[in-house]
Structure 1
């Protein structure tokens, strides 16, 4: 039976894929044992990336290497098809074979390589033990819960002894409660896998918990990459800022440190390490902005500006208020504060934020 640890130097992709009017151009690597999260809006290229790595699509130019061996190199007319690639793929809907038992689903990879039924099942039993599925071996997929089906799909992928593990929205099919239970368990299994792993997700919390590093795609290009903490603290695009729940502003920083925000408004920041002058980004948490019904005249914040409430939305234990202005903002306050301020769509308000609460950093564009 193949062990969890896989030798190799990891994954490297530097290439381009052209499909009709869409182009995906990426240059990145994933170290052995590292989990890379892939984020991006619909149409950014996430599915194209997974299909290309799995061998379900080919590069137009460039090269893909896994553990030092080429999988795709159009210049050399080299292409390793999907059935010969050491890649384990966990689909969003798991795609378990409905007519096979859990044991035989996990044994499928070995059977497909010509291993006899008994030794293939023995190998599958080892993986079922590791993932806590031994008591489910004789069940059919229709008899499994969502969390159990997810673990079976992962066991089937690992049983093939892959050098690369690809997971496409691995928790998306689960309800909220099951997702919470399975998330930490999945992280443990990914940490134990010795090869590189890629996890495609739309869930920022999932990305924070499951991955070591994030790769954000937008329009077929890398918009940002870094550790989850780096990306969450300093988003490089509005998509990432919305995903992480932050207000993000682009602007020009003057010699005096004031930032003229694109679209109107001026903000001051003493957080971060921005250049003396030039193009910058400003990130501020919705909870770091305060709302007032009158202009604060004796408050300490250096940033005070007028606005109009355009929307009020309850988010579990807090209320998110959308405010138009120069600049516009999302503001998080308590339900009590909404009642006290008598907020509704169309209410005039004043916003304030301390300069120490606004992170300023160079604009990568």
Structure 2
């Protein structure tokens, strides 16, 4: 990855009605050559941020810099940015070849240059033999490839993608995730990608920016977001998580926090952020895949008795919902091969996890 930033948002705000801020005060740096995903719920501001970068929306306040030049008042077609939308936005009356050639024709390139670049893109996205087909004659995955190739054909430094795989089925979506990531690696182009799909973001990104109510609440690598979320919102948004209410009992010399759960049991976990005061209400999170059930649970730092409410077999893994008392339930997710014997609803069972796998938030 190259050093430096290709894009900077500086104090950017956006409102559509003059009162309610869709983007509050955005400071964001996009590194050259990285795959950055903007992730968040509906209305969180991720798509508005992408549209401002593309030039289809104008900031109400602040500046957007590209290669140290302000671009907030530069027309979209003059920014030199490739864009891929969920609906692909292909010209229906044009063939694949004509769709790919269009951005080059608009830039006044010669016929020889256009032919060479179109052929290179057709080869890259493996659409040989389909050059004369129109979009309606292509499958969803093939249309997506054309849209991707068209965004890259004029060799931009930056490509923006807005939910580009949202219309595809699961198998094809996963295949195209690999295709896009491979193209990113091969070309070294910078990609800013918008999705609401957490697993997609985790699989594809160098960094992920989590949006909430017009702000970025955390921007980090997929690993650090999953293992070290900044707050309860991120902990619950990235991957599946058990979120349990409790109160602080005490703090050990090594910094671990003992939390009392509503069921009356005590568990120990590491703390996120400032040390909480004794008696403070707090939230404990632990990932379903870090939980162990049965006899092995007794050897871990935390263990609780529970009762199986439901168990679902999902091929390579199973999910069990367990009542631990105090009107609290937790989800356990384990590989199917680790399930010894038959587990049924109503079974009394021990559930446990390591101290370092729990995280306490104020």
Q: Secondary structure at the match of 1:16?
A: strand
Contact 1:10–1:195 (CA under 8 A) maintained in structure 2: no
- Which moves more between the two structures, 46-55 or 198-207? 198-207
Contact 2:301–2:352 (CA under 8 A) maintained in structure 1: yes
Correspondence 1:33-48 to 2 at 5 A: 33-48=33-48
Contact 1:99–1:140 (CA under 8 A) maintained in structure 2: yes
Tell me what 1:64 maps to.
Answer: 64
Structure 1: distance between partners of 2:124 and 2:150: 12
**TM-score scaled by length of structure 2:** 0.81
Structure 1: distance between partners of 2:303 and 2:5: 52
Contact 2:3–2:31 (CA under 8 A) maintained in structure 1: no
Counterparts in 2 of 1:260 and 1:273: CA distance versus 1, 3 Å: closer
Q: Secondary structure at the match of 2:122?
A: helix
What's the offset of the Cα at 1:312?
Answer: 4.7
Structure 1: distance between partners of 2:261 and 2:218: 21
| Residues 1:268 and 2:267 are matched in the alignment | yes
Correspondence 1:1-365 to 2 at 5 A: 9-14=5-10, 15-20=12-17, 21-25=20-24, 26-72=26-72, 79-115=73-109, 119-235=113-229, 236-238=231-233, 240-249=235-244, 253=248, 254-256=250-252, 257-260=256-259, 267-269=266-268, 277=276, 282-290=284-292, 299-305=298-304, 312-323=311-322, 325-326=325-326, 327-332=328-333, 334=336, 340-343=342-345, 347=346, 349=348, 352-356=351-355, 358-360=357-359, 363=361
What's the offset of the Cα at 1:101?
Answer: 0.8
What's the offset of the Cα at 1:340?
Answer: 3.6
What's the offset of the Cα at 1:357?
Answer: 5.5
Q: Which runs of 5+ in 2 are unaligned?
A: none
Structure 2: distance between partners of 1:261 and 1:200: 39
What's the offset of the Cα at 1:58?
Answer: 0.9
Contact 1:289–1:332 (CA under 8 A) maintained in structure 2: yes
Q: Secondary structure at the match of 1:151?
A: helix
Counterparts in 2 of 1:100 and 1:268: CA distance versus 1, 3 Å: same
What's the offset of the Cα at 1:359?
Answer: 3.4
Counterparts in 2 of 1:351 and 1:148: CA distance versus 1, 3 Å: same
Tell me what 1:75 maps to.
Answer: none
Write the deviation string for residues 198-254 of structure 1: whole angstroms up to 9, x where unpaired: 111233332223210011111111122110111122333346535412224466653
Structure 2: distance between partners of 1:336 and 1:262: 28
Contact 2:310–2:344 (CA under 8 A) maintained in structure 1: no
Q: Which runs of 5+ in 1 are unaligned?
A: 73-78
**TM-score scaled by length of structure 1:** 0.80
Structure 2: distance between partners of 1:274 and 1:207: 25
What's the offset of the Cα at 1:89?
Answer: 0.8
Counterparts in 2 of 1:308 and 1:37: CA distance versus 1, 3 Å: same
Q: Secondary structure at the match of 1:299?
A: helix
Counterparts in 2 of 1:190 and 1:49: CA distance versus 1, 3 Å: same
Alignment coverage as a number of residue pairs? 346
Q: How large is the RMSD of aligned CA atoms in angstroms?
A: 3.5
